[in-house]
A and B are shown apart, each in its own frame.
Chain A
Amino acid sequence: MKTSLSHSKVKAGDELPGLDIPLTRTLIVATAIATRDYQEVHHDPGLAVERGSKDIIMNILTTNSFVGRYITDWAGPDALIRSVKVRLGAPNYPGDTMKMTGSVTAMEGKVATIAIRGANSLGDHVNATVEVELS
């Protein structure tokens, strides 16, 4: 079983391992539906274009889910996420890759503050700040 990262091993300035998310059409549609988000811009390319988008785009709930995954991939099952604050930027279109990077910006007791960036070929899709209590 996956072990959890102890707070004693983490300090401000630590980098989290990078994570590349290939943005397939299947991923964008499957995650939109799995979050019960049926807005056409997340699954219907024709209507997305009609509404002024280049193609379908990842929905926000999924962006949040990837931020959550990115944290617990690193911190393990004992991590307790306290808050996730995201600022949204360039859309995640199919065919692109979102490259996630992150670093610890503060440690207070067991609580780490992590700054996360998810960038695609157009720029930053998401900038997130996460507070997570480590084991």
Chain B
Amino acid sequence: MAITREGMTVSQTQQETDADKKAFYEQLQGFVGLQIGPPQPAPDEVNIPMIRHLVEAVGDENPIYLDEAAAKASRHGEVVAPPTMLQAWVMHGITPRSNEGDGPYEQMNRLLFSKGFTSVVATNCEQVYDRYVKPGDRLSMTTTIDSISEEKTTGLGTGHFVTTRQDYWDADGNRVGSMLFRIIRFRPAAKSKPKPPRPAPATTHDNSWWFDALKDGTLLIQRCKGCGELRNPPHPMCASCRSMEWDSIEAKGTGSIHSYVVTHYPVVPSFDYPLPILLVDLDEGVRMVMNPIDATPEDLQIGRKVTIEVHKCDPDLSLPFARLAK
């Protein structure tokens, strides 16, 4: 154990290496081409009332959308829906869509969230129409992840462009149109300013040796010289035999989650929130408090195995972090 990677991402806003970015990008590419969920059926067939609501609101006076005679006289030959209304037929409606699924889209989002790409803005929408839909058409939509860009920095912040492709189908299985929809998932630029350093631990004569070892990348466990019992956090006297003689052993760096909390408030500017804090059972038999690394609160589970890595938080402080075992 005891690997200290200089400049490693502890806080999500610190610099990542190009190799980290490349590995993350390649992980994201695994989602490209996957279909998101089953086909979504339109709740209603294409219908005049919905067309009327929209063309009235938009002030669109093209008569082919509502006036049968005018539509008949046009090349369309019958009343049709505005082609740009394509998306509206399959809109989910007022009930919020659950974010708790475990499909490819949710998994991709969780991966992006784990790197702090939590904000989202739509940037492009490209629709191509195979035919105009008309009242009575029963549509459904399929969605696939079309592409995910490398990390890009825009005016909004740094992130990845995610393009999904929606195909719209009629009841006969013929495509009526398709859409490429591009969003950027990003870390807001304003928050990319360097965070203040992590609050320093209160070190004393009795525990500074433990933090000093971490600075060298070594995680130690205090051991009683009288009875051999291991203890943490460091303190001067053995609770079992009252010996004040002690030495230390190097931790293997493996353990499991004993318990955890996820803090939302109060917000200390040095950390990203929600902030998970773990109580880890080291395999040696002592418990330690630490943050997880590259994990979101949803990934945490009591009993889950972890490996412990020591990372530099700032020049004067290194701490153990738990990485969830695969």
Q: Which of A's residues lie within 8 Å of B, judged by CB? A: 1-2, 4, 21, 27, 30-31, 33-38, 60-62, 64-69, 72-73, 76-78, 80-88, 135
22 residue pairs of the A-B complex, CB under 8 angstroms, read A2-B63, A2-B70, A30-B53, A34-B56, A34-B57, A35-B88, A61-B84, A61-B85, A64-B125, A65-B60, A65-B84, A68-B83, A69-B58, A73-B60, A77-B62, A77-B70, A81-B83, A81-B84, A82-B129, A85-B124, A88-B121, A88-B124
**Contact among B53, B56, B123 with A88 in the assembled complex (CB-CB below 8 Å):** B123
Instruction: Flag whether B286 is at the interface (Cβ < 8 A).
Output: no
Taking a contact as CB atoms under 8 Å apart, the answer to whether B83 and A84 are in contact is yes
Nearest CB in chain B: distance from A72 CB, A: 4
Taking a contact as CB atoms under 8 Å apart, the answer to whether A78 and B74 are in contact is yes
Per-residue A-contact encoding for B68-95, CB less than 8 Å = 1, 0 else:
0011011110000011110110011110
Nearest CB in chain B: distance from A4 CB, A: 8
Instruction: Flag whether B34 is at the interface (Cβ < 8 A).
Output: no
Taking a contact as CB atoms under 8 Å apart, the answer to whether B60 and A69 are in contact is yes
* Chain B interface main SS type: mixed
In the assembled complex, the Cα of A86 lies from the Cα of B84 at a distance in Å of: 11
Chain A residues with Cβ below 8 Å from B59 are 21, 69
Per-residue A-contact encoding for B170-189, CB less than 8 Å = 1, 0 else:
00000000000000000000
Given contacts A35-B88, A88-B125, contact A65 B54 (CB under 8 A): yes
Chain B residues with Cβ below 8 Å from A82 are 128-129
Residue of A nearest to B58 (CB): A65
Given contacts A62-B58, A68-B84, contact A77 B50 (CB under 8 A): no
Given contacts A35-B91, A67-B84, contact A72 B124 (CB under 8 A): no
Chain A residues with Cβ below 8 Å from B57 are 27, 30-31, 34, 62
Given contacts A65-B54, A88-B122, contact A83 B128 (CB under 8 A): yes
Interface centre among B50, B71, B75, B127 (most CB of A within 10 A): B127
In the assembled complex, the Cα of A81 lies from the Cα of B129 at a distance in Å of: 8
Those of B84-132 within 8 Å (CB) of chain A: 84-85, 87-88, 91-94, 121-129, 132
Nearest CB in chain A: distance from B184 CB, A: 11
Instruction: Flag whether B6 is at the interface (Cβ < 8 A).
Output: no
Query: Which 10 pairs from chain A and chain B are nearest by CB?
Result: A36-B91, A68-B84, A85-B126, A34-B53, A64-B84, A69-B60, A34-B54, A30-B57, A35-B88, A77-B74
Chain A residues with Cβ below 8 Å from B63 are 1-2, 77
Nearest CB in chain B: distance from A90 CB, A: 11
Known: A31-B54, A77-B64. 20 other contacts (CB 8 A): A1-B70, A34-B50, A34-B56, A35-B85, A35-B87, A36-B91, A38-B93, A65-B82, A69-B58, A69-B60, A69-B82, A73-B62, A77-B70, A78-B75, A80-B76, A80-B132, A83-B126, A83-B128, A85-B125, A86-B124
Chain B residues with Cβ below 8 Å from A31 are 54, 57-58
Per-residue A-contact encoding for B38-72, CB less than 8 Å = 1, 0 else:
00000000000010011011111111100000110
**Contact among A21, A33, A73, A87 with B123 in the assembled complex (CB-CB below 8 Å):** A87
Chain B residues with Cβ below 8 Å from A27 are 57
